[in-house]
Structure 1
């Protein structure tokens, strides 16, 4: 397990002084990158081997959203590797050690020269020293699409949405989707399935479906093919 301590910054909270799912993902993503650097699997090592990890799916459960000024501990560990997939858990705990948020994530190991998934090297899997998975109800990797999706206003990919791979960062899709959460819908859970990478110049079409307990937001291209599917649950 890799952990780091932090304090919730004003720049990270919403108008209610709480973190949102986008901010939580940023903490989780930073923690996973710090972990990889600490075991010799960081940016430079991956670049030399022409490899990257791409996010395939998130599942996040929130007991409560940490607030401005609060001290937290963020932790992550790998729990399995299978062919081209890596599996990783995350926690955010408060000062008393109570879990504020927990998550499961699924990653794909990619060859950047051929732009295709490849089998994870045994040395890579050993470096992370997999531990036991966190006790949570694990949802399927794929999210089913509702039939009656309503189209909202299209918007372009901006430079600020890109990461070091020149693709839209996985957390940015979540920030985009949060613009379409109604004020009267308060999600405590979030799942995301990443199907394709959007890049600079792409136009994203939001497709939305809401029921009493769930909100599905599809970020799609002009042909309505999803880049990412996000499901929020109350």
Structure 2
């Protein structure tokens, strides 16, 4: 069977916007995941298909670029397709369009397969390998390589894992990790426009855990590095790099 691209329409809702009336990045990543779910369902390899076999999809990394944030009530289309395969790594790309076909943002992501009982990653099973990858569009550069390590944290928060942080895999959902990553920054940074994020999900966190979120500046004033760590085990859960538009901050200060 050959894979094919999917296209899913969404309308930005009031509970998914910030003080500017624009969709938040976690909301947009949530739309991307929903579009990916629909596309894999049509291909017979959705999370529900995997769960029937004691397996599940796990997002390992996503790199997002935003050119314009859609506003409350605006209709968007998220296009997504399987863009490549490397050993156990399955790549999937996304593009977000306005109703007028303006490219609002794009992302590339890396997915793995996990045994839901053993909580261990496994080789890509044959029934997924049999879905031949035929990209719907030109693939974005794969998200790979190391991110810079956060050396000197400037900001820190503790995030207790609660019931509504847990997803179908019974661990903290990745959009919540993304939200915690951003929430660690002070208001003066969050008031800027987030241009992009590269986030790596390294380990699970479950109900009852406490996550320590830290952040600090990178090699320029508009770049921040992030790390989420389990308070109980000291294991690094998430590493990320965010890029912000300093012009937005200057406009706010006028």
Structure 2 unaligned runs (5+)?
Answer: 245-254
Q: Assess, with a 3 A threshold, how the Cα gap between structure 1 residues 138 and 181 changes in structure 2: closer, same or farther.
A: farther
Q: Is the contact between residue 61 and residue 200 of structure 2 (CA under 8 Å) also seen in structure 1?
A: yes
1:166 aligned residue: 170
State the secondary structure of the residue aligned to 1:181.
coil
1:200 aligned residue: 207
How far off its partner does 1:62 sit?
A: 0.3
* Residue deviations 1:76-102 (CA, integer Å, cap 9, x gap): 100112222110001110111111010
Q: Assess, with a 3 A threshold, how the Cα gap between structure 1 residues 111 and 133 changes in structure 2: closer, same or farther.
A: farther
How far off its partner does 1:135 sit?
A: 5.3
State the secondary structure of the residue aligned to 2:130.
helix
Q: TM-score, normalised by structure 1?
A: 0.92
Q: 2:40 aligns with which of 21, 36, 43?
A: 36
Q: Is the contact between residue 116 and residue 169 of structure 2 (CA under 8 Å) also seen in structure 1?
A: no
- Give the count of matched residue pairs: 234
Q: Is the contact between residue 91 and residue 101 of structure 1 (CA under 8 Å) also seen in structure 2?
A: yes
State the secondary structure of the residue aligned to 1:17.
coil
Q: Aligned pair 1:188/2:195, yes or no?
A: yes
Q: TM-score, normalised by structure 2?
A: 0.85
Structure 1 unaligned runs (5+)?
Answer: none
How far off its partner does 1:35 sit?
A: 1.1
How far off its partner does 1:148 sit?
A: 1.1
How far off its partner does 1:213 sit?
A: 2.1
1:230 aligned residue: 240
